[in-house]
Structures are given as structure tokens and as C-alpha cells.
Structure 1
């Protein structure tokens, strides 16, 4: 049975590398990124090199309710692997950084990742299978200067992931 993986931030960096690994392991892919041009390049490369289905969704994960848009766009596709990888950093002292950009970061790292997990986890539990990989950072393990929202949001993602794991162990 062919499985499907949904990867956010799939057009570059770690998301792209994970996309390649999942394609190599014969997963069909749903790739999500804000960069349409790079996303289409990745789609073409994957389709040329691997025999898997690839669908792309150009989405800005900093927007409210984008997780619902993603789930609606994939219709009834069963997601076997969710990779919440999208993210970015912002450098500067908290009092000198731009609030709207920080709010975007909170939406990407915290809200959209949490919402996608919420929307897709129940199906995984019902099927008795599935995997969720929330990409955090070494920054999650301690507070740090000049990137306060980045450190805090990555810490949230780590703590949230560990809490979900503990909850699932109780269910089993």
C-alpha cells in the first residue's frame, strides 16, 4: 500500500531533504511552501527522479486558518506522515524587531503546526498508524538573546510534541 506524506517548508533546506528521503522510500508527496517557483522546481525534480505522485500547495503558513485550507485542499487523501518543517528566524532585540513579522513566526511555528497536528492526528489514531515529525531546533532547549520569539516558539514546538507523545502512550 502506497503511503502519503505531507511536508511543510518543502521547497528548500531540511524540508527539501526530507522530501527526497520520503520520495526515495516510495511515499506519495504533498508539498507545501510559500515559494511557488522553488516548489514547482522541487516537484519537477521529484517527478523526474522518482515514481511517486507529487502534489504542491502554495500556502502562506502565517495566515489564520491555513491548516484548514490545506486539509480541505487534500480532500480525502490519507496522510500517513506529517512533517511540520516550515519556519524562519528573525534577528534582533525584542524591543527593536517588527511585531507583524514576529506574529507571522508564531503562526508558522506554533499555530499552524499545532492546527495541522490537531486536524490530522485523529485519523492516524483511528487507523492505528501514522507519524508526525515536528521540526524544532536546538534553540528549543534554552532561551537565547536576539531571537526571543524564535527560541520561545521552537521551545513550544518541542514541549507540544513531547506532550502529544505522552498522551498517545496513555491511549495505547
Structure 2
């Protein structure tokens, strides 16, 4: 597949690249001839993936193990972004805890904010100046459909993704005339393995493909899946009280109440 598709960006740094969406980002970018730098905590998984990508596609695949909630390890990623001038940054790393906000450990929720919001903000702030100087580049920030509706049971996750969506839209407006594309990818329920999609569940490769096409095209937001595209107008227009009630019912059902 290498060489069959000329992608807009030649080099990319992908966070959260050891599994799930991040692994799919790395695979699809490499298949399109993009040199990739892979960031995640699990060095062994990254080494294995990098070797496969280099063998299959003849690209350069480098590994940068880092816990992005650790300031020192995150600083090493920021330094690599400054030094190498990547054309594409994929801010994919993130996680969410499920349970009542008051009952979950505060430290876990603060770490969630650190990874989902603070690390993304810092890496984006590091990458953008070089891209703007060159008049070329892209930042793809992975948000979520939970950014647009109440998220009881995953309140901090939903709040961080709302932050990501809002930040990205503002940065898209700031950089629109510069040749730099900043895009929010907002998937709904997505399989983290290679399972097929369904009524509500999306295939991860389809989500990744849609996101990469959106940032290359310079769109501010990408909502993959026809079912979720159809849902967006309702989320904008429905009374917030109705959304809160529906979200609470879904949460209670998921919790087995």
C-alpha cells in the first residue's frame, strides 16, 4: 500500500500509539508513507509496532516511551517536537474512569485532566509555532461525542473532551489562513480492537481514516459514522434538561441500577 496514496504530511508524532486508536493511526500513516514517532508508556509494545511498520512500509518508525502525566517525561516529548518539526501531531493519548464523581479517587481524576487536557495543550503549544513558521502542518486532537452532552459516570472525561473540542475549534479559527490545520476528531462508541462496527459501535480503523482525512482537508471537526452525524443536530437543539435526564438514565442502566 505504501506509495499508493500521497498523504499531505510526511512526518507525524502520535501519542497513545501502543494500542487502540493510536496504533491504528500509526499503521495507517505508515501505510501512506509517513515517517512516524510513536509515544506511549509501554516501550515493548512500541518497539514491536515500530519494527512491523518499518518492515511493511519502508518508513522510519521511531519510539519515544513516555508517561505524558509525568512532567519530566512529557518534557522529552516536547523537546522532540521542537527539534524535529513534525508536520502532523496526533494527540490521541487519553483515558477515562467510570463511576460516580464523588466516589472516584481524586488523584485518578486529576491524572485524567493532566493527560487528556494539560498534556494535549502543552504538546499542541510546542508544535504549532514551527508549523506556523513553515506555513504547513496539522494537529489532530482526539475528543469525543461526550464533549457535547452531559456525561454522568464519566464526568471528568466528558469535561476534558469538551475542553479539547472547544480549544481545537478556537485554534482552527486562529490558524485557518496560515496553512496549518487544527482538527477535533469526535467519535462515539468505538471498538479499541479490530471488532466490526454496529448500530452504535464504530470500527477503529474507520474512525482513524476519517480523522486523518479531515485534518488533511482542513476541517475543524470530524464526527465519524452516519449515526453520530445524525445525532449532532439533536444535541445542539435539545433542551439541556432533557439531555441530562437521558444521560442519567443511560448511566444508571450501564451501572446496572
- Report how many aligned residue pairs link the two structures: 172
Distance in structure 2 (CA, Å) of the matches to 1:159 and 1:65? 27
TM-score (norm 2): 0.63
Distance in structure 2 (CA, Å) of the matches to 1:113 and 1:75? 15
Three-state SS of the structure 2 residue aligned to 1:125 is: helix
Deviation at 1:21, TM superposition (A): 1.1
Partner of 1:30: 37
Q: Larger C-alpha radius of gyration, 1 or 2?
A: 2
State how 1:7-18 maps to structure 2 within 5 Å.
7-18=14-25
Partner of 2:172: 165
Three-state SS of the structure 1 residue aligned to 2:152 is: coil
Three-state SS of the structure 1 residue aligned to 2:83 is: coil
TM-score (norm 1): 0.93
Partner of 2:64: 57
Indicate conservation of the 8 Å contact 2:67/2:74, yes or no. Answer: no
2:161 pairs with 1:154: yes
Indicate conservation of the 8 Å contact 1:71/1:119, yes or no. Answer: yes
State how 1:1-172 maps to structure 2 within 5 Å.
3-64=10-71, 66-73=73-80, 76-169=83-176
Indicate how the Cα distance of structure 1 residues 66 and 143 shifts in structure 2: closer, same or farther if over 3 A, else same: farther
Deviation at 1:138, TM superposition (A): 1.0
Unaligned 5+ segments in structure 1 are: none
RMSD: 1.9
Indicate how the Cα distance of structure 1 residues 74 and 118 shifts in structure 2: closer, same or farther if over 3 A, else same: closer
Distance in structure 1 (CA, Å) of the matches to 2:77 and 2:163? 22
Runs ≥4 in structure 1, deviation > 3 angstroms?
none
